[in-house]
Structure 1
Amino acid sequence: MASVQLDRVRKVYDNGQVAVHGASFEIADGELMVLVGPSGCGKSTLLRMIAGLEDITDGNLLIGGRRVNDVQPKDRDIAMVFQSYALYPHMTVAENLAFGLKLRGVARAEIDRRVNAAADTLGMTHMLGKLPREMSGGQRQRVALGRALVREPSVFLLDEPLSNLDAKLRHSVRTEIGRLHRQLGATMIYVTHDQVEAMTLGQRIVVLKDGEIQQIDTPMALYEKPANLFVAGFLGSPAMNVLHGTLKQDEGLHFALDSGGQIPLGTAVVAEAWVGRRIALGIRPEHLHPAGIGKTAFEAHVDLIEPVGNEVFVNLRFVGQSLVARMPPQVLPEPGQGLRVTIENAVLHGFDPDSGLRLS
């Protein structure tokens, strides 16, 4: 396997559009790095530049310490798995796995060894004689993974490989990819717009917006200390609640909303430097609770209740502000009724309301 290093890599198209602004980071040998962001953020463009499918306008790209800006894709020792399975419909699984190796002139015995090894790793030995039309979407995606696996590359590149699968299959194949990475110790770069995939798969995550890197860190570090409002809102389901107003300390700590009304914070943890200034206050949904007797609370109105099994998402409204709370299953008021809510003992997040940057 090999490390991948990007040094101020930029992509500017002929019409002047800047798709990637000076990306600099390193993927360690054997690491699974996820590139995540909304559509049009530059994540797939970045992956395609690593693959050699897009030219690099400026900067340097190194794979295994070798500069590969001008190296052809076939000579970069990478294998790519696309969103589309792109299997040959008239070929069996074994023939699909072997086809790329045949084109490269690999010996028959070596092709058989690699195909059988990949099939064994992915649990597909019993499917080698099947045609794609005889297989489910999840099985076809495993064949696409196997086609990359037989290459035995230094780096695996995966471009939204689960987008065409339903929710159950996405979970199954996502687990398969995580297991495969642990088993192989392979260097993998995985692109997705799905923050759940990013959080569950990535050892580290690169969050992108409009072609610029917003933050690079481990999943839980991004969740607990987002660098700005974009990262705070993008990672987490449901998203972080963000309220604009002023923190005040008179008669107990509370937050005076720009829209009117006050939210008592009780024993919630905030930095002293935030008090007395206007900020954007971030509250994770799991830190909003139904208030017991004697708790510092505010009265919100229930808009919608979304039961999702072992928890309930409660959509609330308070003086024109929308809030989402994540609560355990319990008896709750009907939509349109009031609910006393508390933010006791929560660690809250402060952001500059103008720049959006996290406050220390």
Structure 2
Amino acid sequence: MKAVQFSEHGDRDVIEYGEFSDPDPGRNEVVVDIKAGALNHLDIWTRRGLPGVELEMPHIPGSDAAGIVTDVGPDVDRFDVGDRVAVSAGVSCGRCEFCRDGDPTLCIRYGIIGEHQRGVHAEYATVPEANLVSVPDHVDWEIAGSASLVFQTAWRMLIDRGSLNAGESVLVLGASGGVGHAAVQIAAHAGAEVYATASTDEKLEYAKACGADHVINYERTDFASEISDRTGRRGVDMVVDHIGEATYPDSLKSLAKGGRIVTCGATTGPHPGAGLNRIFWNQLSVIGSTMATPGQADEVLELVWDGTFTPRIRETLPMSEAADAHALLENREGFGKVVVIPDSEY
């Protein structure tokens, strides 16, 4: 088979699309004929090299994909050959206290397919059956292959960890990205008043189409000052911040008293000032969130499959052009997800 792969960390020129050994399923694994997959920013960080993460080389990236089951291991009982499936990338041990208590996102062995182990941007991929969800017949492959990671991440952030209620106000930073545009849709669906930031007017129009009530071009104005002005100096109840160092101080400033930041990442760096004086004086909460439990993933993906939520797809490319797909994310071009398809399917 052919697969997107790299044998060393580096810039986009380390990415190749070439021959790779055909996969065989283990006892609890399924082989999937990949029809479409999507990129996430973690693919960029993985390619560049993450501190403390040692990869088996060559590494196949990709945490999002969907396709058809072609083979199953002897202990697989949830899927059969011919089933339509999508990847749910969070990996847990299934045995520790957190797994037993129903929250495997806190598992001591928690990792992500494509980030900590070989991913799914290939013609075929071997995936543990626990990391697959069923896809209805009417769902397009590009939708099925691009929804899982960002929508389950945003759902857990807002609904589970953030306990978002109807009538509250939410600021979503980076609304043009995968998690951002999912968060806008989920917040609007929950009945919140949604503020969204992006870097161009075109992206802001897309954010409005996703459900944002108010939009802010952060290249032209300071979003914390804008939030203060638009809310009568009150602030918002929740900030969705996956950007980190560059935005965290202004995220704190944007909160109403008793408000909360929910974060799932730190793409601009993990070491902002703590802002403890503002946190204790205004009684703020800073809440971390990662991926979702299987139940949470199933809940939000049902809303994708029925059309309530839709991953916006900015570009679809053959896997042989994976380096160009990485460039679209790195250069912050467009709104929504970048999809790659095996050249044999393109």
TM over 0.5: no
TM range (shorter): under 0.3
Question: TM-score if structure 2 supplies the norm length?
Answer: 0.24
Question: TM-score if structure 1 supplies the norm length?
Answer: 0.24
Between structure 1 and structure 2, the one with the greater Rg is 1
Q: Larger % of strand: which?
A: 1
- More relative contact order, 1 or 2 (CA 8 Å, 6+ apart): 2
